[in-house]
Every structure is written in structure tokens, then in C-alpha cells.
Amino acid sequence: MPPSSHASPTAVWQKDGEGVSLTLAGDWLREGPEVNVTGTAPAHAPSRYQTDALGSHDSTLPAFILAHLRTLKSTADAQQPAPFEGLPENLRNLLQLALAVPEEGGPQSEESHDSKLATLGKLTLGAWHACLTMFDFVGQTVLSLGRLFKGQARFRRSDFWMTVQQCGVEALPIVSLISFLIGLILAFVGGVQLASFGASLYVADLVAISMVREMGVVMTAIIMSGRTGAAFAAHIGSMKANEEIDALRTFGFDPFDFLVLPRILALVLMMPLLTVYADIVGILGGMLVGAFSGIPPVLYYTETVASLTITTASLGVIKSVFFGAVIALSGCMQGMKAGNSSAAVGEATTRAVVTAITMVVVFDSAFAALFTLLDI
């Protein structure tokens, strides 16, 4: 049929005894004439449709009807199913299917008009939900550790030793670099200040005590948060997105025993060793600066040993155990609660790093206050 033979499409809104009806007539085609609308569209769905004079139609007709129905989202009628009495069956089914799917909107399609009190309430509920999730995850981890001590936890030993290698040996290069540079910085800054008092030798005390008490363990924890904690979240999150965790449950494996437990054990075991290594490398960096400043290495070493005690040297190692547990828990928790998409995995990885670093700083502050109260 050539375009010139198409009947002009019309839409007539008219009131009747039951409400407002919509009369549709003509050929509703994309290449046809423009639609002629008569009457004013009501603020609710039409009670019925009259299609006796309706000719052929394509997507133009359902698009016209949907455009009106989509505007009813803010009215009370939006909660009621729209009546489609009088429409052809195929068109009625198409409209019902279209209305069953929520309309997509842009990131700023709907503005929030919540009051400040409502916003505060939502933030409080979100924080409370996050705390409950964390407590639940920690509790399940403790139960998994209990099964380990009873010999009931099941995980592959090869996975455990591979994780130990990733957390330990493979982390040595970046830990060495950062720790060495931190020792250099402490020696440079401290040496300049101490030289004005004629006490350049005490730069050895400054570097040694700073490294073993704070800088060595904190910098190692931050490195492992960005390196290993993120890797845990990404790996477990990818497994969840691919439904591998559901497959483990189907085969009778507890995901906490199989995925979380070996990672926590590996990082808790490796963090003290990495901390001791970082302390030594940082002290060597300070010794290098001292040598360029005129302090003989033997004298620097003697002063370092004299300034350290077993108690002082063990503080950073003690904190490293807790830091390792916090980093592993943060990474595994964010991976386990990640969504089922690649974007959700990336978001979980970011949250894991931020959470781990934040918790490391919080725990370090708590340890500093505790050690001060104990006069250590």
C-alpha cells in the first residue's frame, strides 16, 4: 500500500458514563501521516479503548499509549493495573509486557527530596547494617577457625601454600623498596634536626625505634591492604560473579572453610615475618644515610642495638598479627558480598582497600593509646 493511501491516524479523548475512553482510528505507521489528537488526556488511564475504525499499525501506536501511561507514575492510579479493554489481543499483551518492566532512567533522572533528618536516618541504618554484616562475617570466620582446630575444616593445602607464597615471597620487592625509602626519609629528616644539637648519632635511635614500633608495621600493612587485600576481594568477587561459590555450596563445601580460612591464616602468618623484614630494611636505609653523614656503620649498629629492647622490638610484631587478620577479613568480606557483575567486583575491590587501610589506622591508634596507658 503506498503512503498516500494510508488513513490519517486519530486519537480522540472523550468522557462517557464510566470515565474517559480513547478512540483510535486510522493507520498508525511510522511513514504515515501525523497523528491528530482531539481532547485532553486525563490524569489517569482510560477506562476503555474503542478500536472499531483502527487500521494497520506498527510500534507507533503502543508508543503513543505508553507515553501517556508512563506519565501516571506520580498519581494514585499508577499503583493500579491499567485497563486495556477494547484493544486487540496482540497489542494488549505487548503493553502489559512493556509496563511490567521498570522504565530505565539516567543517574539524575529522579531527584531526592529527603529531609536532613531522613538522610541522617538512612545513613544510620546503612552504618548499622554494615556493622551487622561485619559481625556476622567475623562470627562465621570464628566458627570456621573452630572447625579447623577440630580437624573438620576442608580446604586444599595447595591453595593455602600458594596464598602463603603470594602474601610472603612475592610481596618482598615492594616491601623492600618502601621500607628502605622510609628508613632513608626518617634518617634525612631526623639527621637535620639532631645535627643542630650536635647529636647526629641519635639518628640511629630515631630510625630504629620508629621502624620497629610504628613505621615498619604500618607501612607493611598499607602495602598489603592495597596488594593482597584487593587481590582477595577481586578473586572471591569474581568467583561469586561466576557462581563458583554457589557451586561449592552445591558440592557440600563451606565457602568460609574453602576460600576465607586459608587466606586469613596465610596473611596472619606472613605479616609478622614481613614486618621484621621491613624493620631490618628500614634500619639499613637509615644506616646508609648515617654513613654519608659521617657515622661509621659499626657505631650506627652499636647505637641501634643499644636503643632497642625485646619489648620495643616486639610491639610492631604483635600489631602485625591483628593487622593481617583485619586486612584478610576486609578483603574476603567485600569479595563475598560483591554483586554478580564485573562492575560490582571492581567496587568490592575498592571497598576492600579503603576498609582495610581505615581499620589498620584505627587499630594502630588503639594500640598506641593502650601502650601509652601500659607505659610501654
- pLDDT band at residue 32 using 50, 70 and 90 as cut-offs: confident
Give pLDDT, residue 73: 54
Give pLDDT, residue 370: 92
Give pLDDT, residue 25: 81
* Cβ–Cβ under 8 Å, residues 3 and 32: yes
Closest CA to 35 of 67, 75, 69, 81: 67
- pLDDT band at residue 1 using 50, 70 and 90 as cut-offs: very low
Count CB neighbours of 199 within 10 A: 14
Name which residue leads in pLDDT, 161 or 113.
161
Give pLDDT, residue 5: 64
What amino acid occupies position 245? Answer: I
Give pLDDT, residue 141: 85
* Contacting residues for 164 by C-beta, under 8 A, at least 6 apart: 266, 269, 270
Q: What is the pLDDT of residues 235-269, one digit of tens each?
A: 988 888 888 888 888 887 888 888 888 899 999 99
* Contacting residues for 343 by C-beta, under 8 A, at least 6 apart: none
* Range with top average pLDDT, 11-25, 92-106, 193-207: 193-207
Per DSSP bridges, beta strands 10-16 and 19-28 are antiparallel
Kindly report the average pLDDT of the chain as a whole number. 83
How many residues does this entry show for the chain?
376
- pLDDT band at residue 81 using 50, 70 and 90 as cut-offs: low
Name which residue leads in pLDDT, 308 or 48.
308
Give pLDDT, residue 283: 94
- Is pLDDT at 105 greater than 80 in this prediction? no
* Residue 115: strand, helix, or coil: coil
**CA–CA dist 147, 149 (Å, integer):** 5
Which stretch of 48-62, 97-111, 362-376 has the lowest confidence by average pLDDT? 97-111
- Is pLDDT at 180 greater than 90 in this prediction? yes
Distances (CA, A) of 4 to 1, 8, 31: 8, 10, 10
- pLDDT band at residue 279 using 50, 70 and 90 as cut-offs: very high
What amino acid occupies position 81? Answer: P
How many whole angstroms from its chain centre is CA 209? 36
Closest CA to 73 of 109, 36, 23, 119: 109
* Range with top average pLDDT, 1-15, 24-38, 91-105, 106-120: 24-38
Which residue carries 637535620 as its cell? Answer: 192
Give pLDDT, residue 62: 80
Name which residue leads in pLDDT, 156 or 107.
156
Helices first, then strands: H and E counts in the chain:
14, 5
Retrieve residue 297's grid coordinates: 656503620
Give pLDDT, residue 21: 79
Name which residue leads in pLDDT, 11 or 2.
11
Give pLDDT, residue 109: 46
Which stretch of 7-11, 296-300, 324-328 has the lowest confidence by average pLDDT? 7-11
Give pLDDT, residue 76: 47
* Residue 124: strand, helix, or coil: helix
The secondary structure of 136-177 as a DSSP string is HHHHHHHHHHHHHHTT-----HHHHHHHHHHHTGGGHHHHHH
* Cβ–Cβ under 8 Å, residues 164 and 156: no
Closest CA to 290 of 176, 180, 184: 184
Per DSSP bridges, beta strands 48-50 and 19-28 are parallel
Domains of the chain, residue spans: 3-100, 144-373
Classify residue 199 by its DSSP letter: -
Retrieve residue 47's grid coordinates: 477506562
Give pLDDT, residue 346: 87
Retrieve residue 30's grid coordinates: 511510522
CA dihedral 192, 196, 199, 200 (to 10 degrees): 30
